[in-house]
Amino acid sequence: MAFRANETSQSGYENAKNYLLRNIGPGNIEESQNMLDEIIDRCGPVVDAYPSWHPLVSNHDAMRPVRTPQKECGYNGLDHTVFFVNGFITCPYHDGEKTIESVEKLPFNANSIATIKAEPLNVSLYADNANPILVTCEWDKSLPYGGMIPSSLAIPLILEHELACWRSSDYAESWESMRPYLLGSPHGQRSSLFVSQDTGQSIKKIWNLLISSGAFGPIKVGSD
């Protein structure tokens, strides 16, 4: 089945709205929904998981790929979290300071292509007694209309992230196996809510060229 970005975005929005607003009291619901809509306008559609090269999840030294914000890539105190293309909302019951501090402690590279920031939200989300925090990925280069990540950013980040594994790799993962890690989720054959068809096609070509070079070892067939 073809990947339909508009339908997928709408489904994600409805799921996020149900998750974040279902326990909110009637006196707060309108303000809370307005805030959710503003965040989606700012950070892009709701997603299930990030490409492993995305700045929100790539700050770690672990050998295994990480696709959701967690302690392994520098975050503390996350709870009841909803992801967007370029940010996420987390709604802990604690005051949120340790979450904000963990974001502020993320390593900053002077040549970084994105800045990650955290801010408390003065609205009710998930529950009236939760303390929602918005974490954003602010790209140093402007994104195309619609907020998708262009190949000029995605491909260098993929190369930085994946080539580091060539020395320790025993085999190469096929495009089919790597699509969630290179495109994010949800995704289609060559596109997702993160990257367009053209960018996804370029990513596929680059990946197939890398694995066909033998740099990672023989291409893995089937599963263990």
Per-residue pLDDT of the chain (224 residues; tens, 9 = 90+): 467 888 999 999 999 999 999 999 999 999 999 999 999 999 999 999 999 999 999 988 767 889 999 999 999 999 999 999 999 999 999 888 999 999 999 987 655 789 999 999 999 999 999 999 999 999 998 898 778 999 999 999 999 989 888 888 899 999 999 999 999 999 999 999 999 999 999 999 999 999 999 999 999 876 54
pTM of the full predicted structure? 0.94
Tokens read off for 221 = 């067939």
- Measured CA to CA in angstroms, residue 149 lies from 90, 95, 104, 210 at distances of 23, 33, 24, 21
Cα 146 from chain centre: 16
How many Å apart are CA 16 and CA 4, to the nearest integer? 18
Q: How many CB atoms lie within 10 A of CB 144?
A: 11
How many Å apart are CA 193 and CA 85, to the nearest integer? 7
Q: Judging by beta carbons within 10 Å of its beta carbon (0-12, 13-18, 19+), is residue 14 exposed, middle or buried?
A: exposed
* Side-chain-side CA neighbours of residue 195 (13 Å): 31
Q: What is the pLDDT of residue 144?
A: 86
Q: What is the pLDDT of residue 175?
A: 96
Q: What is the pLDDT of residue 224?
A: 43
Q: What is the pLDDT of residue 4?
A: 86
Tokens read off for 115 = 């800045």
Cα 18 from chain centre: 20
How many Å apart are CA 181 and CA 7, to the nearest integer? 22
In the chain, how many H helices and how many E strands? 6, 5
How many Å apart are CA 58 and CA 53, to the nearest integer? 5
- Provide φ and ψ at 133, rounded to 5°: -130, 135
How many Å apart are CA 126 and CA 92, to the nearest integer? 9
How many Å apart are CA 51 and CA 148, to the nearest integer? 13
How, if at all, do strands 81-84 and 46-47 pair? antiparallel
Phi-psi region of 166 (alpha: psi -120 to 50; beta: other; left: phi over 0): alpha
